[in-house]
Amino acid sequence: MFNSLVQTYKDKPAKLDKIFIEENFDYLPTVNELSTILSGNSAQVDLLFNNIDKAEDLLLIANRYEGTKRDTILSQIQKLSRALGYDEVNKEKRDAIFENPSQAGSLSILMMSLKLIYQRLM
């Protein structure tokens, strides 16, 4: 498994660094499996590494949805998780997004609507 991950990310030192941080060791089998599934889509691989603590949820999503549907859901989750940030303050909100992937589209629309309303008020 380690060899596979090193070979996959040998040209991406930031990802290798993240893989081999001790606190991420528990996620390595899932990261290894997802790396195969998501290879070829750099945005989805970035989603994985920005949310490595959600690797198990991402694997469930990747196995539950296929093709365009999976790509759309993962893209929506990526936008939502970026908007929230990756700190502990928003951990519960990020948890809700990853636990309810079928709602990511609705949450994205709501977020954009709220952003437009806020901009109009300013």
Per-residue model confidence as pLDDT tens digits over 1-54: 788 999 999 999 999 999 889 999 999 999 999 999 998 899 999 999 999 999
pLDDT cut 90: percent of the chain above it: 66
Does residue 59 surpass a pLDDT of 90? yes
Taken in order 119, 75, 72, 106, the sign of the CA dihedral is: negative
Return d(Cα 116, Cα 112) in angstroms, integer.
Answer: 6
The 8 Å CB, 24+ separation contacts for 16-25 are: 18/49, 18/52, 24/52
Single pTM value for the model: 0.86
Question: Domain segments of the chain: what residues?
Answer: 2-121
What's residue 115's pLDDT? Answer: 85
DSSP 46-115: HHHHHTGGGHHHHHHHHHH--HHHHHHHHHHHHHHHHHH-SSGGGHHHHHHHHH-GGGHHHHHHHHHHHH
